[in-house]
């Protein structure tokens, strides 16, 4: 799909079209919705919000590892084993998780197993995470705006990659994965 350049009126590729600033639900520490704000404001002010994080595992027990694009607003170019994103106003965590894993990796028709909930906070992100595990053996289809590379990796290989200081992993993923790894490693 092609849009029009607002200045020249010329056709432009979809990748160059302006991105709509999605509305994000902002939460208090007690889990109460306090307001909504554009994603750009949530990021700029590091407002507390809710996110979902989905680990995709295949029948061999491998997890899907991907590298985030350099254009991501948080942790660009970092490795990640969780597809995820922010909850939109009125959206349930389960619905957000299903939406995000389909958008980012093309994973559909899966039942999600809850991994738990956790808090995460650093200088660029502050949120309450809802974690899920998706067992999936179908094709992976990347969203090109979010995923630059990906592959199935065994958990031992993932652990070795995480231990390699030359590989940058999204710090929130590492924190959440530490908590949820026992469930991810459990047999199907």
What are the extents of the domains in the chain?
Answer: 18-183
Whole-prediction pTM value?
A: 0.86
Query: For 18-183, which CATH superfamily applies?
Result: Nucleoside Triphosphate Pyrophosphohydrolase (3.90.79.10)
pLDDT tens over the chain, length 188 residues: 334 433 344 554 544 544 578 999 898 888 788 899 999 999 999 999 999 999 999 999 999 999 999 999 899 999 999 999 999 889 999 999 999 999 999 999 999 999 999 999 999 999 999 999 999 999 999 999 999 999 999 999 999 999 999 999 999 999 999 999 999 998 66
Residue 7 CA to residue 55 CA, distance in Å, equals: 42
Residue 126 CA to residue 175 CA, distance in Å, equals: 13
CB under 8 Å to 165, separation ≥6 — which residues?
A: none
Q: How large is the greatest C-alpha to C-alpha distance in the chain, in angstroms?
A: 57
């Amino acid at each position: 799909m092609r849009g029009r350049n607002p200045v020249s009126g010329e056709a432009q590729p979809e990748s160059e079209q302006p991105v709509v600033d999605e509305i994000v639900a902002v939460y208090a520490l007690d889990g109460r919705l306090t307001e909504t704000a554009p994603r750009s404001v949530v990021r700029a002010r590091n407002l507390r919000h809710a996110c979902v994080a989905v680990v995709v595992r295949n029948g061999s027990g491998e997890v899907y590892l991907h590298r985030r694009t350099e254009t991501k607003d948080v942790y660009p170019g970092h490795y990640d084993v969780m597809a995820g994103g922010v909850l939109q106003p009125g959206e349930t965590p389960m619905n957000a998780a299903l939406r995000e894993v389909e958008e980012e990796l093309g994973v559909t028709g899966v039942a999600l197993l809850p991994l738990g909930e956790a808090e995460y906070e650093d200088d660029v992100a502050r949120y309450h995470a809802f974690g899920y595990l998706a067992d999936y053996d179908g094709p992976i289809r990347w969203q090109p705006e979010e995923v630059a590379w990906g592959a199935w990796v065994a958990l031992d290989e993932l652990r070795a990659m995480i231990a390699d200081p030359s590989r940058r992993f999204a710090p929130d993923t590492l924190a959440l994965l530490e908590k949820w790894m026992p469930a991810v490693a459990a047999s199907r």
